[in-house]
């Protein structure tokens, strides 16, 4: 069963007008896993720089650390530029997808490898908490949900244009919504009368089909999982992660470390399976008398079980409740 991204549920908790307020999650755990030599130059790629919270801490701790920060949201890059000013020319920020981090490293002159890569792949608090971004059903706004506002694909476009079968797949695969088929049919019937334009339009259909005010089996309000499913589709979140993990491993030097923070079980499963595969020494079908696959172990896994937020962190940042951190060190 899916464990959903509960961080969407704390709407407005970090909503300070005009400010980019995002509390970095699992920061102590990230610091203890992404270790660099204290007195030597080192290279870090932060593929989801957001407000720069994690990277700021690492740059403060390691005076010779250089950072290549990536984000597809210009608002995040602007906030990170401000936050990381103190590190001067140790910091380079680029707009793009983290799945393209290998190319970004190459362009930056880091084609020979980096020492650490961090992916913190949730939605940032400012994205959730800004009604005009359309990520949350808790506030009315345009049904947008694009992390990269240059992209053509908005949430309203998905709802208004995709086939009923594709909508059903999105609701089923990205939200594990038992009534996916009914919800897709209701969306198609509704859009013929009036196309979807606002978050309230979609919330109304979710409430109608899934039961107004009735919490789902995760004790979450009815629109939570449909909104999550739609957001994953709009931003191709799982595809990004699937492409990024092998690229990250290629980009690390031997001894370099990868840390990934995910916010729902669909993402965590991808990370877990990837690391398991890379750790395996043989992937032959069971029952073969000798190994013929030639697979080599490429990583040492640093987190036997995913790390999660401790009580002290949960007390100050409820959004950390669904975060899971996995990390590995490249061994070849």
Ligand X SMILES: C[S@@+](CC[C@H](N)C(=O)[O-])C[C@H]1O[C@@H](n2cnc3c(N)ncnc32)[C@H](O)[C@@H]1O
CB of 80 to ligand X, least distance (A): 7
**Cβ proximity of 84 and 76 under 8 Å:** no
Instruction: Give pairs for 307-312: CB < 8 Å, separation 24+.
Output: 307/26, 307/29, 308/26, 309/25, 309/26
Q: Does 120 bind ligand X (CB under 6 A)?
A: yes
Nearer to ligand X, 199 or 262 (CB): 262
The tally of CA atoms less than 13 A away on the side-chain side of residue 147 is 27
CB atoms within 10 A of CB 318: 17
**Cβ proximity of 274 and 245 under 8 Å:** yes
Pairwise CA distance, residues 76 & 101, whole Å: 17
Q: Does 133 bind ligand X (CB under 6 A)?
A: no
Q: Does 121 bind ligand X (CB under 6 A)?
A: yes
CB of 111 to ligand X, least distance (A): 20
Q: Does 44 bind ligand X (CB under 6 A)?
A: no
Stretch near ligand X under the rule CB under 6 A, chosen from 118-126, 130-138, 175-183, 303-311 = 118-126
Among 70, 104, 183, 209, binds ligand X (CB under 6 A): 70
CB of 78 to ligand X, least distance (A): 11
Q: Which residue is nearest to ligand X (CB)?
A: 50
CB of 88 to ligand X, least distance (A): 19
Pairwise CA distance, residues 188 & 112, whole Å: 50
Stretch near ligand X under the rule CB under 6 A, chosen from 68-76, 106-114, 175-183, 282-290 = 68-76
Which residue from 191, 186, 198, 187 is spatially nearest to 137, judged by alpha carbons?
Answer: 198
Phi, psi (rounded to 5 degrees) for 32: -75, -20
Nearer to ligand X, 59 or 205 (CB): 59
Q: Does 122 bind ligand X (CB under 6 A)?
A: yes
Q: Does 147 bind ligand X (CB under 6 A)?
A: yes
CB of 170 to ligand X, least distance (A): 18
Among 2, 8, 9, 24, binds ligand X (CB under 6 A): 24
Pairwise CA distance, residues 318 & 25, whole Å: 10
Q: Does 69 bind ligand X (CB under 6 A)?
A: no
**Cβ proximity of 62 and 56 under 8 Å:** no
Among 53, 116, 134, 256, binds ligand X (CB under 6 A): 53
Q: Does 116 bind ligand X (CB under 6 A)?
A: no
DSSP assignment string, 166-194: HHHHHHHHHH--TTHHHHHHHHHHHHHHS
DSSP assignment string, 232-286: HHHTTHHHHHHHHHHHHHHHEEEEEEEEEEESSHHHHHHHHHHHHHHH-S--PPT
Among 5, 9, 66, 71, binds ligand X (CB under 6 A): 71
- Judged by CB under 6 A, the number of residues near ligand X is 21
CB of 27 to ligand X, least distance (A): 7
Pairwise CA distance, residues 114 & 96, whole Å: 18
Query: x/- site string to ligand X, residues 211 to 250, per CB under 6 A?
Result: -----------------------------x----------
Stretch near ligand X under the rule CB under 6 A, chosen from 49-57, 102-110, 159-167, 184-192 = 49-57
Q: Does 190 bind ligand X (CB under 6 A)?
A: no
**Cβ proximity of 26 and 325 under 8 Å:** yes
Query: Which residues sit at the interface with ligand X, rule CB under 6 A?
Result: 22, 24, 48, 50-54, 70-73, 76, 97-98, 120-122, 124, 147, 240
């Amino acid at each position: 069963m899916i464990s959903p991204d509960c961080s969407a549920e704390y709407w407005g908790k970090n909503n300070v007008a005009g400010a980019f307020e995002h509390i970095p999650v699992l920061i102590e755990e990230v610091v203890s896993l992404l270790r660099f030599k204290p007195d030597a130059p080192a290279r870090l790629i932060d593929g989801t720089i957001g407000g720069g919270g994690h990277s700021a801490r690492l740059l403060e701790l390691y005076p010779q650390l250089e950072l290549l920060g990536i984000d597809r949201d210009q608002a995040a890059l602007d906030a990170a530029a401000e936050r990381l000013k103190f590190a001067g020319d140790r910091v380079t920020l680029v707009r793009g997808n983290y799945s393209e981090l290998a190319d970004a490293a190459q362009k930056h002159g880091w084609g020979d490898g980096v020492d650490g890569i961090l992916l913190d792949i949730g939605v940032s608090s400012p994205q959730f908490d800004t009604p005009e971004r359309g990520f949350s059903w808790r506030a009315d706004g345009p049904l947008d949900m694009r992390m990269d506002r240059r992209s053509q694909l908005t949430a309203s476009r998905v709802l208004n244009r995709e086939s009923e079968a594709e909508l059903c797949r999105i609701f089923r695969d990205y939200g594990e919504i038992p009534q996916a088929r009914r919800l897709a049919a209701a969306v198609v019937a509704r859009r013929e009368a009036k196309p979807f334009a606002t978050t309230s339009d979609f919330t109304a259909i979710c409430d109608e089909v899934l039961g107004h005010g009735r919490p789902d089996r995760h004790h979450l309000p009815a629109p939570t999982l449909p909104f999550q499913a739609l957001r994953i589709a709009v931003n191709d979140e799982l595809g990004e992660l699937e492409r990024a993990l092998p690229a990250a491993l290629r980009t690390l030097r031997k001894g370099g470390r990868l840390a990934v923070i995910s916010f729902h079980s669909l993402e965590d499963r991808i990370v877990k399976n990837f690391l398991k595969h890379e750790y395996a020494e043989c992937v032959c079908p069971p029952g073969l008398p000798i190994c013929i696959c030639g697979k080599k172990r490429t990583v040492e896994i640093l987190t036997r079980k995913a790390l999660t937020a401790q009580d002290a962190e949960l007390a100050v940042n409820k959004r950390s409740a669904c975060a899971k951190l996995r990390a590995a060190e490249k061994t070849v």
